[in-house]
Amino acid sequence: MEYSPPPLFKQGPSALARLIFFVVVSLVLLVSDARFKTLEVVRAVLDAGLYPLQRVALLPRDLVLGAAQFAVSNNTLRRDNQTLAAKNLQLSLQANQVATLTAENAHLRALLNLSRNVATQSIPADVQYGMRDPFTQKVVIGGGSRQGVQNGSPVVSEDGMIGQVTRVFPMQSEVTLLTDKDQAVPVEIVRTGLRSVVYGTATGDTLELRFVPISADVVAGDELVTSGLDGVYPEGLPVAKVVRVDKQADTAFARVVCAPVAAVRGARDVLVLHYKSDVPPRPEVPEAASAAKDAKGKKAGKGAEKTAEKPAGAAAKSAEPNAEEKKAAGRSDKADRAAKADGKAADKQAEPAKADANGHGAATARAASGAQR
């Protein structure tokens, strides 16, 4: 007896056939959608239809998140406000310091380039303060003997020379500026090579180039650099520029007024140079040569004394006749006076004789007259 299900439970095609059918349809749809985008419209329609259902499903989550955010938003906003205010203040300060930092950056770059160009050992230092005495041109830098600063070392900025170390302390040093009236630097003119010495002035803002002949070729605008002849300053450091040249006929030297090329009073960062001159020391003079020089000097001194004595003797000889004439005149005066005195004395002595002779004559006359009577 054949078993068959009732009509109500009739299943149709077998399960295997249906599986194969749906697998084939899925593969066809995948290939067609991947190659020809056939299901884009269907996908868009389904997405638009299902969006309200998605929003409704996500509504509980959005309500919970909104309530939590509303609860903590006040504290968060205050904290964020404080953070932004501090950040704004910091940015404002940085913006205000941009100009200063830019100038300082350029200043340090120039100083670094100068340090690279200078072949001598250099020590960086900063200018701390100026001296209280208004009549001295001095400043104090932040570097002393512990940093290797030595007395007499030249001090430069990125523009050129500003002074020389004149006093050294353990942590600080005193620098005398170029414009000080007691400061002197040997220099030469770049254009002509003329060497001279530049001095500070009492005003403290200019320099003076001294001992320049009137015939020297010096004009306004000439640049002055260190000559390096003294062994203290390196050769070629910029020092000053000629501002005015005054030449007068009644003086042998011209008055040359200069201005320093570096900001002597405005420098903030400087370099202290340790310059060692390559010029060898002077050779020692042998004792024989020195004795010969001394003998020559003594002979020259004796010759000068003899030369001086000759004019003195000639002058004395020329003066002797005058003295003899004066003596002869004095003697003649004395002789005249003595003769006059002798004449007077003889007259006095002759008066009694004359009186006796007169009396004797009168008696003789009287006797003759009595005899005649």
Q: What's the pLDDT score for residue 263? A: 86
Record the pTM.
0.48
- Comparing 162 with 13, the larger pLDDT belongs to 162
Distance (Å, whole) CA 368 – CA 331: 54
Q: Which phi and psi angles does 269 have, rounded to 5°?
A: -115, 130
Burial 236-274 (b: 16+ CB within 10 A, else e): ebbbbbbeebeeeeeeeebebbbebbbebeebebbbbbe
Query: Where is 128: in which H helix or E strand?
Result: strand 121-130
Give the burial string for 197-227 (b: 16+ CB within 10 Å, else e).
ebbbeeebebbbbeebeeebebeeebbbbbb
Tokens 């509504």: give the residue: 59
Question: Residues 196, 188: contact at Cβ < 8 Å?
Answer: yes
Say which amino acid occupies 251.
T
Residue with token string 């254009």 = 191
Of residues 373 and 366, more confidently modeled? 366
Angstrom distance (rounded) from CA 180 to CA 164: 11
**pLDDT at res. 316:** 42
Q: Over the chain, what is the mean pLDDT?
A: 76
With bands split at pLDDT 50, 70 and 90, how would you rate the model's confidence at 286? low
pLDDT tens for 218-242 read 999 999 999 888 788 888 889 999 9
Q: For the segment 133-170, what is each residue's pLDDT rounded down to a tens digit?
A: 777 889 999 889 998 999 999 999 888 899 999 999 99
**Domain ranges for the chain:** 25-96, 122-274
At 362 the pLDDT is 43
Which is more confidently placed, 351 or 19?
A: 19
pLDDT average, residue stretch 243-258? 89
Give pLDDT, residue 223: 93
The closest alpha carbon to 188, from 111, 151, 242, belongs to 242
Q: What is the CA radius of gyration of the chain?
A: 61
- pLDDT for the residue 295: 62
- pLDDT tens, position by position, 94-135: 777 777 777 777 767 776 665 555 557 888 898 988 887 777
Q: Which CATH number among 3.10.129.10, 3.40.50.720, 1.20.120.1200, 2.40.10.340 corresponds to the domain 122-274? A: 2.40.10.340
In angstroms, rounded to a whole number, what is the distance separating the alpha carbons of residues 266 and 260?
12
Cα first-last separation, the chain? 269
pLDDT at 198 over 60: yes
Give the whole-angstrom CA distance, residue 183 versus residue 239: 13
Classify residue 110 as left (phi > 0), alpha (psi -120 to 50) or beta. alpha
Which of 7-21, 247-261, 306-320, 339-353 is the least confident region? 306-320
C-alpha dist (Å) from residue 220 to 100, 162, 187, 243? 34, 21, 16, 5
